Structure 1
Amino acid sequence: MRHQVCIIGAGPSGLLLGQLLAKAGVDAVILEARSADYVLSRIRAGVLESGFVDLMREAGCAGRLEQEGLVHGGFSLAFDGRIERIDLQGLTGGKSVVVYGQTEVTRDLMEARAAIGAPIVYEAEDVALHDFDGSHPRVTYRKDGASHEIACDFIAGCDGFHGASRRSVPERAIASFERVYGFGWLGLLADVPPASEELIYARHMHGFALASMRSHTRSRYYIQVPLSDQVGDWPDDRFYDAFRRRLPDEVAERVVTGPSLEKSIAPLRSFVAEPLRFGRLFLAGDAGHIVPPTGAKGLNLAASDVHYLASGLIEHYAEGSDAGIDGYSARALARIWKAERFSWWMTSMLHLFPEAGGFSARMQLAELDYIATSKAAAITVAENYVGLPY
């Protein structure tokens, strides 16, 4: 079997890359280790930058997003008993974000790929990458007990932090930069109306909280918890009590409780691998970097990788130029590190760090007050939150 590009991973980044390539006439196959149902069951981010929305339009997959997505022109920071709104549109010349769940993005991309009959293999076992340091890379896998091999020109590793793509790179050829935080986010999804029309990021003496949503009738709430906690330690009533306690009274009074549809604890980590190209293998999305979710950058950062990589591959086949793929790693990493900085900064400013002491707590409050009282500081937050240009 031969294809021009073999994409490893059928999450949003792999599916979006596949759709952009298909629209440009580039032949790509996608391999995914899990089932389609499993991929759709993953509950992830839901705040999309305008650049991501533009890519979905370019891919021809933005119809439902534009009908059902919630356009947000701002968000709020809650701290020290007060709540301060960041006017995204007013501070960035009219830019905004769209709340639309990653599960729905994935569903739209899956349906678009099925509609054009582009190849995708789910439950591909023992995926292995070969010879990507030469001119004839190969990918092997097993499906239903049979062995298969794909010959291709390029491999796109979009299979996440634990996937086979980055693990296939020799240790001497890759540098990793990482910070692991000593806490996680406990997230609860429930079919209840959101406590606020826009997101609220709360810094509290008992820990961080985030009031988010997926729609007008479905809420996604988070609280900071120790990594030693288990989901079973947090029945719904205990979660809602802790969540309310960390919000300003005026918001806490509006929290409607309801049975959780899903609860999970996600550890927080900052991670970057350099470079993102190894011969004819390219890493994109979580395969190459992880950000804490505080700045809503993970999915959006994967999309900017896809933008650079798709542009380079399309240029290669349409014009015979390798300028785009040769520059992919440097261009993507320049934006990645800025997003890493923003996510690290938001995390540092809003979370409880018990080991840091009272001085750190005072610095957090001073930083938040500065953002609330300085237009220049608020602009910095806003332009990073809506997304830096590609």
Structure 2
Amino acid sequence: MERQRTQVGIVGAGPAGLLLAHLLHLRGIESVVLEARSRTYIESRLRAGVLEQGTVDVLTETGLGERMHRQGLVHEGVLLRFAGRTHRIDFRELTGKAITVYGQHEVVRDLVAARLAYDGSLRFEVTDVRVENLETERPRIRYREPGATQETELECDFIAGCDGFHGICRASIPESEIRCFDREFPFAWLGILAEAPPSSHELIYAHHERGFALLSMRSPTVSRLYLQCTPNESLDAWSDDRIWSELSARLATRDGFVLKDGPILQKGITSMRAFVCEPMRHGRLFLAGDAPHIVPPTGAKGMNLAVADVRWLAEAVEAFYRRSDESLLEQYSERCLRRVWKAERFSSWMTSTFHRGPGSTDFDLRIQLAELDYLTSSVSAQRSLAENYVGLPIQ
């Protein structure tokens, strides 16, 4: 067995793991990032890309914002559509902040490029990964390099589990030491990526008696759209014509809104679930990103929560090395979970307000419409939505 050592071993090269490695590097702390997939895979895996103001600030302050500021689409508001009418929530006026639409895979590309530019250790396509000795001062990660005939043992001071919901890190914590909260929603999203100019310069959240629809975008020439469907929906039942017809119906307005269509480049089904595990730490293992929490995508919080997690984790690790101060490590889980549960609350509220579940009655429909009517006629309610959407402060 080959034996190696680092200060922080990071499992997973998604936004959480890569950004944590970058933040640690800026603080002079060594890390090794291990990823089961190839570089091509992680750089091309399409995910949502709504960045909160705080996430934009973190990427800018750490030297990762050049391409984001050049290619990202800044939105100073969002459009809510119901009962055939459109209402705008002005983020800038209500909060002084905005959001930026910039694909998660683009963030990953920027992070990979930065990691390799300063010769940081980033190992792709590793297998047989497991974490051990988590309750000691020398936890370790065992794994196998591509084509290797022997294992590598990586001794660490800390391990960061940034390997997603289905990763091995959270599963390595004894069941008696962790509590999980889970909710599966009775609907899903059918999402498409289309070669079509966006039909709106800002996102449109549409409530319709046939179900929810969302109009988003990836660039001035590529649109990203979603419509509510059942969790067991078959993509074979959704021809391109049917998708465009249903989106047009759900996004229609009384003043004749026209949805721009085009060739569909990609389509898929996204399940809707909420998940949180407590605590986000076990011994010297710290969980971040999708490993400890999942939010329904309606509130656009997933990657933004990961950024907040690793920002706090990097700060806590730095305090340990510079001042032998473990207080921030002790506070890590509680600090993150306060933000996580607020994001779960907001995302669940957005989901329940815009979607029609199975068994939904006309009474339920009227309550949703009354909620949206109140929201769009109350400045206080709009400010609450705006504050949550652009992102609560990362403190």
Matched, 1:388 2:356: no
Q: How far off is 1:251 after superposition?
A: 8.5
Equivalent residue, structure 2, for 1:129: 131
Summarize the alignment of residues 275-314 of structure 1 with structure 2, pairs less than 5 Å apart: 275-314=279-318
Structure 2, unmatched stretches of 5+, are none
Q: Which amino acid aligns with 2:105?
A: T
| Count of residue pairs the alignment pairs up | 389
Deviation at 1:232, TM superposition (A): 2.2
Change in Cα spacing, 1:386 to 1:251, as seen in structure 2 (3 Å) is farther
1:79 offset after TM fit, Å? 0.7
Letter in 1 for 2:117: A
Check the 8 A contact 1:16/1:59 in 2, yes or no: no
Residue 57 of structure 2 corresponds to residue 44 of structure 1: no
- Given that 1:195 and 1:251 are in contact with CA atoms closer than 8 Å, whether structure 2 keeps it comes out as no
1:163-202 aligned within 5 A: 163-202=167-206
Partner residue in 1 for 2:23: 20
CA–CA distance in structure 1, aligned partners of residues 227 and 326 of structure 2: 46
Residue matched to 1:90: 93
TM-score, length of structure 1 as denominator length: 0.98
Q: Tell which deviates more after alignment, 268-277 or 305-314.
A: 305-314
1:251–1:49: structure 2 CA closer, same or farther, 3 Å change rule?
A: farther
Cα offset for 1:253?
4.1
**Separation in structure 1 between the aligned mates of residue 164 and residue 279 of structure 2, nearest angstrom:** 16
What residue is the counterpart of 1:108 in the other structure?
A: 110
In structure 2, do the counterparts of structure 1 residues 356 and 249 end up closer, same or farther at CA, with 3 Å as the change threshold? Answer: closer
1:248: Cα distance to partner? 2.6
How far residue 322 of structure 1 moved from its aligned partner, in angstroms, is 1.1
The alpha carbon displacement at 1:67 in A equals 1.2
SS of aligned partner of 1:249? coil
Structure 2 distance, partners of 1:39, 1:203, is 33
Shift of 1:250: 6.7
Which of 73, 78, 82 in structure 2 is aligned with 1:79? 82
SS in structure 2 opposite 1:285?
coil
Cα deviation for residue 133 of structure 1 reads 1.1
Query: How do residues 340-379 of structure 1 correspond to structure 2 at under 5 angstroms?
Result: 340-379=344-383
**2:323 and 2:289 mapped to 1: Cα distance?**
26
Whole-Å Cα distance in 2 between the matches of residues 127 and 303 of structure 1?
Answer: 24
Partner of 1:323: 327
**Which amino acid letter does the alignment assign opposite residue 209 of structure 1?**
A
Percent of aligned pairs with the same residue? Answer: 51
> Which amino acid letter does the alignment assign opposite residue 381 of structure 2?
A
Query: In structure 2, what residue type is equivalent to 1:163?
Result: G
Say if 1:245 and 1:252, in contact at 8 Å, map to a contact too. Answer: no
Q: Kindly provide the CA deviation profile for residues 234-255 of structure 1, in whole angstroms up to 9, marking residues without a partner as x.
A: 1211111111110133787432
For the residues of structure 2 that align with 1:19 and 1:251, how far apart are their CA atoms? 49
Please state whether the residue corresponding to 1:145 is helix, strand or coil: coil
Q: Quick one: structure 1 residues 250 and 113, their matched pair in 2 at CA, closer, same or farther if it must change by over 3 Å?
A: farther
Residues 84 and 372, structure 1, Cα contact 8 Å, conserved in 2: yes
Aligned amino acid, residue 229 of structure 1: E
Residue in 1 that maps onto 2:251 = 247
- Distance in 1, Cα, partners of 2:235 & 2:119: 40
**TM (normalized to structure 2)?**
0.96
Q: 1:8 touches 1:31 (CA, 8 Å); kept in 2?
A: yes
* Aligned-pair CA distance for 1:356: 3.1
Contact 2:84 2:254 in 1 (8 A): no
State the shift of 1:358 in Å: 2.0
